[in-house]
Amino acid sequence: MFTGLVEARGRLVITPAPHTASDGARIVVGDVPFAAELAIGESVAVDGVCLTVVAHDDRSFTADVMAETLRRTTLGRLAPDHVVNLERAARSDGRLGGHVVQGHVDATARLIAVRTEGDARILRLQVADAEAAALIVAKGSIAVDGVSLTVSARRADWFEVSLIPQTQRDTDLGALAVGDEVNLETDVLARQLRRLLVAGVGAADATRVAPTASLAAAGTGLPTAAPAPIDAGVVTTDAIPADPRDAEDDRAVARAVDALRQGLPVLVADDERRENEGDAIISAALATPHWIAWMIRHTSGYLCAPMPDAIADRLALPPMVADNRDPKGTAYTVTCDAATGVTTGISAADRCHTLNVLADSATAPDGLTRPGHVVPLRARPGGVLERAGHTEASVDLMRIAGLPEVAAIGEMVLDSGEMMRFPDLVRMGDAAGLPVLTVAQIARWRERRERPADADAVVAPVPAATGDWQEVRA
């Protein structure tokens, strides 16, 4: 076990074989101030990778590296004379600083931006591995090249860490340049909790108490908000992916929920046999003028606000027409604006304010004027399992994320004026750094986690409205 507090720096004398090699390799690290104190079999973290000393002298040590380690970490790509961070294993009689680090690298990340704030150096790192990315949380601990750091900011496809001057001087992180690659080890508690959630709770030990996973994070990462159950009378069952498609559904929903909780849009495509179109979806409660302007720019500009019947009823938003003949059965209500805080109501800032007001549980009917420039929609109670539309998908996602169940949606269009199809959405998602998923993935994800209560089924963790731990026989 390590602490992430770098003890010294060394220099690679002999580098590993290329990471494509099928066999392992042997490395020698020189200029090691504590080399003479090492013992054969002792563990040393090299840029965050736990290695075993197989030989040493007064200034260097030798370690063997397995082929899997060469592929997973940066060790297989380092050049001679590369400076590496070093830490010996923690002693039981010493103080434990930093955080618990195992030296088991989860993934690598690439430095995509650097900026300074006073004396601090802010590194923005991009993680390609979706499973590792799902375990990174704002203000959580992370080891970067073996250095214990705190995640200062987190978005859908990147995170940031801040380096104080001492860390810049005493580790190799101070010399990183954009494009450089680093090793990542996520928080050990997050990893173990994820494994627990994937494994589920067995019937053989009915007294075990498992942490309640948010619907968004079950089987993929740590919950960061406590959602309400999707509906009374349904419970969450085992979330063990049965095939690769299930695992991808888990990752897609987790990425979407993570983005939504940060106030970012997600791009959702429906079935090719239905509309074969995609919508940008964002939380109405967390929407900002910036992202509403982005949605207006990249959609038809006709923004709607899906919500459950109960919220529409509370806000006195009746159906737009008595005889709805919309081919897809979209349940439009009368349009509205916020009663205060807007001018004409049409600008991105004004529509954003109206969306925030719609999502505010304290808003009364007189907090809105009718007609207006935002179009509320009533979602079916059963969500995407009742109607496979963007209206229901958006409310399901809000509910899964534990957010107020009002969304903002707009249909994505190309600059040519044509509707975006799934490949177009993927390209847009890649360009904007936004998650892309499908209505079908949300439906499959829900179907695997919900079924009528059955007292004879196995014990499984289910989400409680309070966010507390809860054991339910499902």
Angstrom distance (rounded) from CA 224 to CA 213 = 9
Residue-wise over 200-234: b if at least 16 C-beta within 10 A, else e? Answer: bbeeeeeeeebebbbbbbbbbbbbbeebbbbeeeb
**CB distance 63 to 26 below 8 Å:** yes
Spatial neighbors of 430 by CB under 8 A, at least 6 apart, are: none
Spatial neighbors of 276 by CB under 8 A, at least 6 apart, are: 269, 270, 419, 421, 422
What value does the CA radius of gyration of the chain take, rounded to a whole number of Å? 26
DSSP 3-state of 278: strand
* CA 15 from centre of chain: 35
DSSP 31-83: S-TTGGG--TT-EEEETTEEEEEEEE-SS-EEEEE-HHHHHHSGGGGPPTT-E
DSSP 3-state of 441: helix
Secondary element (H or E) of residue 414: none
What is the dihedral angle through the alpha carbons of 355, 356, 361, 367, rounded to the nearest 10 degrees? -70
Strands (E), 339-384: 368-378
Q: Which residues are catalytic?
A: 275, 279, 304, 332, 337, 373, 390, 411
Q: How many CB atoms lie within 10 A of CB 155?
A: 17
Look up tokens 């963790």; give the residue.
461
Q: Are strands 158-163 and 147-154 parallel, antiparallel or unpaired?
A: antiparallel
Angstrom distance (rounded) from CA 279 to CA 134 = 23
**CB distance 389 to 447 below 8 Å:** no
Residue type, 364: A
Report which of 450, 469, 461 is spatially closest to residue 205, judged by C-alpha positions: 461
* CA 98 from centre of chain: 24
Angstrom distance (rounded) from CA 47 to CA 63 = 13
Residue 380 CB-density burial (10 A; 0-12 exposed, 13-18 middle, 19+ buried): middle
